[in-house]
Structure 1
Amino acid sequence: MLNESMIRDIKLAPQGRLKIEWVENHMPVLSLLKKQFISEKPFAGKRIAVCLHLEAKTAYLAKVLQSGGAEVAVTASNPLSTQDDVVAALVEEGIRAYAWYGASPEEYEAHLNKVLDFQPDLIIDDGGDLVALLHRTRQTEAGKVIGGCEETTTGVLRLKALEREKKLLFPMVAVNDALSKYLFDNRYGTGQSVWDGINRSTNLVVAGKNVVVVGYGWCGKGVALRAKGLGAKVIVCEIDPIRANEALMDGYQVMPLAEAAPLGDFFITVTGNRDVIRKEHFALMKDQAILANAGHFDVEISKTDLAQYAVGRRKVRQNVEEFRLPDGRRIYLLAEGRLVNLAAGDGHPAEIMDLSFALQAYSLLFILENREKLEAKLYRVPDSIDRKVARLRLEALGIKIDTLTLEQETYLKTWQLDN
């Protein structure tokens, strides 16, 4: 597939294969699915386009889908998370790939368009860029799409907007909203991998410092929990009064960002919104404050405001850029304000993505098997799939759980309670 792909260097494939082999050994649910797919070939004759962070876990998902008989093409959902050696290994496995690390905005869009030239029947998106393109300029290809899945909060928000405006052209499954996804991927995956990226980039101690977590959804909960575990004093900034109360009862300080700005040593944005940290906040920050983003797009920290406010900037470490302010203070931005866990690290642990990607594979199967019944709407992952993935993980780990007796099931279903 090399002649049909756009990649950096096919010679990198051997080290990419090693990365894929490593995660394969730690993704038992996907491995069980692979055995099933090899036997049943449920995607035979179908083309699947995958727009995700192109690293080893995603590569294994692509191979599992391929084992089900699909032709697979991949592209990146973030140019700084692409690992060129992994992409090269996929091409050697017969999977089309259109991505390389550090792609310019023009190259990034060209890669998205190339994967749509593939004319997919099914898609997996992360952040909604592929779906947006299908609805803006590639509606011819959209007519061929049976349906797809969305991996992350930002993408689900965009799909909800499309559905609300009655413009969604095909059924999509909100994989992000499945219990087996956000309770684990968003909380434990983001929580660990964000600090992996920050620590790898800065090599600074976290214990005893003030960490400001902006946004207390499931990703924010994970980031705050791991910061607390590293010995930080955690401040949470929120707009939702329920989440603010939750953060308070979880033992964190809660305050507006304007009050937290002079206190923070580390700032991590996890909101899914834009311009969350702006010039008025930069003006209040202490010298050598460190900014990182864990939301999907690089818009949560206003890079425009920071660049305009600064009188000088330079790269001081890999994935660390220093902005010098007029009064001499320095603010450090990690990974260009992109997803710090992927742009400056390897992303979520393999065991976490095992759950998320198993949900993706099963959800594609659900769309294919029910395509005559599904409308152009946003669907939740069926509860049966959600729980099946959770059960498979427990089985893979050799863990057993209790089951209800017949009497207990009956008790829970009746309103007539007796002793």
Structure 2
Amino acid sequence: MSANEDHKVADIGLADFGRKEVDIAEHEMPGLMASRDKYGPRKPLEGVRVMGSLHMTIQTAVLIETLKEVGADVRWCSCNIFSTQDHAAAAIAASGTPVFAWKGETLEEYWWCTWQALQFPEGKGPQLIVDDGGDATLLIHKGYELEEGSDWVNTPSGNHEEQVIKDL
């Protein structure tokens, strides 16, 4: 496992292989490449905090790099414990983008990764979310409820996954 405060991936040594695959995928994704060409110089998302919870694949890596090219500050996790392509996650981590994803995460690791992707510097949260499955959105809604005085985290739960979330 390769980890530091800005990423946690299976093996950062896979980054070169991932980069080669990303370069190939860019040729198969003309819409995103056209968006980079058109909006990259203007940086319309300059400083916008974007959190993603989407399958961490090579194609997602192209999306992440497009968001960065148009100015976004990006943090990412996978939306599924089995769908991460470890070489894609490594390529994104090696480029300096915080990513928390590896194939075969446990339930606890999955929710930890989602929580990490939501945590921007200076205690700030995301301004825009790309969320395939709604798990990041769930954490935000539960956080809002807690800020409004909900006692949800202190109520007993008979569901293991719900307890994992409460323990975050």
TM over 0.5: yes
Q: Which residue of 1 aligns with 2:78?
A: 76
Specify the alignment match of 2:144 in structure 1: 139
The structure number with the bigger radius of gyration is: 1
Per the alignment, residue 136 of structure 2 pairs with 130
Partner residue, 2:27: 25
Alignment of 1:162-311 (within 5 A): none
**Whole-Å Cα distance in 2 between the matches of residues 3 and 115 of structure 1?**
11
Distance between the aligned counterparts of 1:64 and 1:102, measured in 2? Answer: 27
The equivalent position to 2:101 in structure 1, one of 95, 99, 104, is 99
Q: How far, CA to CA, are the matches of 1:36 and 1:70 in structure 2? A: 15
Alignment TM-score, normalising by the size of structure 2: 0.79
Normalised by the length of structure 1, the TM-score is: 0.32
CA distance in 2 between counterparts of 1:68 and 1:139 reads: 29
Question: Which of 88, 108, 111 pairs up with 1:109?
Answer: 111
Q: CA deviation at 1:23?
A: 1.0
Does the 8 A contact of 1:53 with 1:78 survive in 2? yes
* Counterpart for residue 6 of structure 1: 8
Q: Considering only aligned residues, what root-mean-square deviation do their CA atoms show, in Å?
A: 1.7
Whose RCO is larger (CA < 8 A, sep 6+)? 2
Kindly indicate whether the alpha-carbon contact (under 8 Å) linking 1:2 and 1:92 is maintained by their aligned counterparts in 2: no
Structure 1 segments of 4+ aligned residues over 2 angstroms from their partners: none
Task: Give the corresponding residue for 2:39.
Answer: 37
Contact 1:2 1:91 in 2 (8 A): no
What pairs with 1:324-403 in structure 2 (closer than 5 Å)?
none
Secondary structure, counterpart of 2:40 in structure 1: helix
Question: Within 5 A, what are the aligned runs for 1:400-415?
Answer: none
Q: After the TM superposition, which of the residue ranges 1-10 and 19-28 deviates more from structure 2?
A: 1-10
For residues 15 and 131 of structure 2, what CA distance do their matches in structure 1 show?
A: 24
Alignment partner of 1:41: what SS? coil
> Which blocks of at least 5 consecutive residues in structure 1 are unaligned?
143-419
Deviations 1:49-79 (A, max 9, x none): 0110000111100000000111111100001
Give the share of equivalent positions with the same residue, in percent: 35
Structure 2: runs of 5+ lacking an equivalent: 148-168
Cα deviation for residue 37 of structure 1 reads 2.3
> What is the CA distance between 1:133 and its match in structure 2?
1.3
Question: Which residue matches 2:54?
Answer: 52
CA gap of 1:113–1:3, structure 2 versus 1, over 3 A, is closer
Report the alpha carbon displacement of residue 86 of structure 1 after superposing the two structures with TM. 0.6
Q: How far 1:8 moved relative to its partner? A: 1.4
Shift of 1:2: 4.9
Per the alignment, in what secondary structure is the counterpart of residue 8 of structure 2?
coil
Residue by residue over 1:150-203, the C-alpha shift from the partner in whole angstroms, topping out at 9 and shown as x without a partner, is xxxxxxxxxxxxxxxxxxxxxxxxxxxxxxxxxxxxxxxxxxxxxxxxxxxxxx
Q: 1:131 offset after TM fit, Å? A: 0.6
CA distance in 2, matches of 1:107, 1:91: 17
TM-superposed deviation, 1:83: 0.9
Go from structure 1 to structure 2 and tell me whether the alpha carbon gap of 1:21 and 1:126 turns closer, same or farther (over 3 Å shift). Answer: same
Contact 1:8 1:100 in 2 (8 A): yes
User: How many residue pairs get matched?
Assistant: 140
**Counterpart of 1:40 in 2: which secondary structure?**
coil
| Letter aligned with residue 137 of structure 2 | V
Q: One-letter code of the match for 2:114? A: L
**How far off its partner does 1:117 sit?**
1.4
